[in-house]
Structure 1
Amino acid sequence: MNEPLDYAEQPGAVELKVHRHRGGTVETIADSIGQEWPIALVFNGISHAVMMCTPRDLEAFAVGFAISEGIVERGSDIHDIEVTTHPDGAPIPYAQVDLTVVQQAFVALKEKRRALSGRTGCGVCGIESIDLLDLAPERVPDTGFFARLAPDAIARAARALPEHQALTKLTGGLHAAAWCAADGTIRRTFEDVGRHNALDKLIGQLILDRADPTDGFVFLSSRASYELVRKAARVGIPMVATISAPSTLAITIARQAGIRLLSFCREAGYVDYGTL
């Protein structure tokens, strides 16, 4: 019989006994597994989305999701947040985050839900009509960040990131979103099974800390998808750097928003996808 997962362990990872096959031998070892829970996001009493997420930093995640998905325009539009976890939930553990938002944002959210009602297909972010895609990014303000960007900032961030990935080091299976200064120093890092969730957690914490999102850049341990660049544009982040490749739409949106997009970032170099 398979051993049940112990959800009472530290949020983010659980330990499970597994059989490792190597070199013709089999041994029983303890393996750390990244947690993945359904997280229900509820706005003014109405459930809006259920996201699969690592169950930590959920307040920051909910704030970042609300901002980066355009549900609210600013942190002050959120009046209250309550996180409830159910580690013994059936059939699996789950959590719920209740947010109270300003009436204007709630009315707009209800109108959006009405426009999406009755869908039967599975499309981008749950929509099935191209007309409903929000691909027109906000223009990121020019605050002079690039003039202050150190020549070795990417190399410095790439070298330091592994030391800020405690859960990834433990499980080998999580993404990270790091907030970096102009010299490449990593200020904050959030990890999650989903790269979008990790970025939402980072954005949410920036909002909660009332930090200036134009005074730094994001370094992601993933590819650059259009959603990640779109989320960065919503809050005015001037630069997105990723370890893996970008998509064509990510490049297009970055150029439209005025975001500097760097990919294949390593200590030895990177590729700049800005306008030539």
Structure 2
Amino acid sequence: MNPAADRHFTRLTPAGERAPITRTVAVEMPIAIEINGLGYAVMMATPADLGDFALGFCHAERLIDAAADLVDVSAHEAERGLILRITLIPDRVDRVADRVRHRVSESSCGLCGIENLEQALRPLPRVTARSDMADEALFRALDRLGEYQPLNRLTGAVHAAALCSGDGSIRRVREDVGRHNAFDKLVGAMLAGGFGWDGGCALLTARCSFELVEKAVLAGCPLLVTVSAPTSLALDRAAEAGLRLVTLARLDAALEAEGQGR
């Protein structure tokens, strides 16, 4: 399915002039995720790189440990969106059933349906990897990121998640209307391709929310860089796990959180 579509608009000007115009917009649709026959979540996402999305989503939900735990992914068109059917190895089915039991509804953030605080803020592992990325390399990656965002160049409406090497080169990028989805797709692509962080970082065109921190920690990421500001809970969760954070990462300035891992 195409991740972008043309739509018709009327261009307005300060002088009161109007003219018809066609613009390419990012496709956003509900994607219902079924895992081993169980309805798990409904995500609002861009229908691209769905195999990577399935891998990264299952990893972030702690349903799988490795790419080999996912046996099959298939997408099926429905009346209003897509159904993404995922099959995991039998040894992982109990994790799915346990997680489903703690949901009373589904949401795009994956938390509104969690029925207790312990499930919402589960303990995180410690980050043991370290990044040797110099400040100059970080800004070099920021400067080049736009070259790797073809969907955003078309639409101006999607987030990107990038895997960057320690020298600032960009190795993999995934895009989506949702910042969480873009990161899931990137982690999935890394799992599928056998890529490691190798002293680099994850670079996200998003604010630093606690969900993104948790995804980074679970993916073993040594350095999370976001172009917008962090929330208090993101800072707290990163400190707990020893994840190094750089936020408000822009060419004019960037903030590194104190007390994070190095």
Fold match (TM-score > 0.5): yes
State the alpha-carbon separation in 2 of the partners of residues 67 and 158 from structure 1. Answer: 27
Deviation at 1:217, TM superposition (A): 0.9
The match for 1:171 is: 155
The match for 2:239 is: 255
The match for 1:32 is: 24
Deviation at 1:32, TM superposition (A): 1.0
Deviation at 1:268, TM superposition (A): 3.2
1:100 aligns with 2:87: yes
Q: Select which of 61, 67, 72 maps to 2:64.
A: 72
The match for 1:209 is: 193
The match for 1:58 is: 50
The match for 2:111 is: 124
Are the equivalent residues in 1 in contact too, given 2:32–2:43 (CA < 8 A)? yes
Are the equivalent residues in 2 in contact too, given 1:214–1:238 (CA < 8 A)? no
State the alpha-carbon separation in 2 of the partners of residues 219 and 264 from structure 1. Answer: 11
- Structure 2 residue identity aligned to 1:243: V
Deviation at 1:166, TM superposition (A): 1.4
Deviation at 1:118, TM superposition (A): 8.1
State the alpha-carbon separation in 1 of the partners of residues 196 and 110 from structure 2. Answer: 33
Q: RMSD over aligned Cα, in angstroms?
A: 2.0
- Structure 2 residue identity aligned to 1:266: R
Q: Select which of 141, 144, 153 maps to 1:160.
A: 144
1:272 aligns with 2:256: yes
The match for 1:133 is: 120
State the alpha-carbon separation in 2 of the partners of residues 274 and 165 from structure 1. Answer: 31
The within-5 A match list for 1:173-252 is 173-213=157-197, 215-252=199-236
State the alpha-carbon separation in 1 of the partners of residues 104 and 145 from structure 2. Answer: 42
Gaps of 5+ in 2: none
The match for 1:11 is: 2
State the alpha-carbon separation in 1 of the partners of residues 105 and 259 from structure 2. Answer: 41
Gaps of 5+ in 1: 1-9
Are the equivalent residues in 2 in contact too, given 1:260–1:273 (CA < 8 A)? yes
Deviation at 1:111, TM superposition (A): 2.1
3-state SS of 2:135 partner: coil
Distance 1:123 1:81, change over 3 A: closer
- Structure 2 residue identity aligned to 1:234: L
Are the equivalent residues in 2 in contact too, given 1:214–1:236 (CA < 8 A)? no
The match for 1:81 is: 73
Distance 1:197 1:259, change over 3 A: same
Distance 1:221 1:274, change over 3 A: same
- Structure 2 residue identity aligned to 1:233: V
3-state SS of 1:250 partner: helix
Identity across matched positions, percent: 35
Deviation at 1:43, TM superposition (A): 1.1
- Structure 2 residue identity aligned to 1:204: G
Deviation at 1:169, TM superposition (A): 1.6
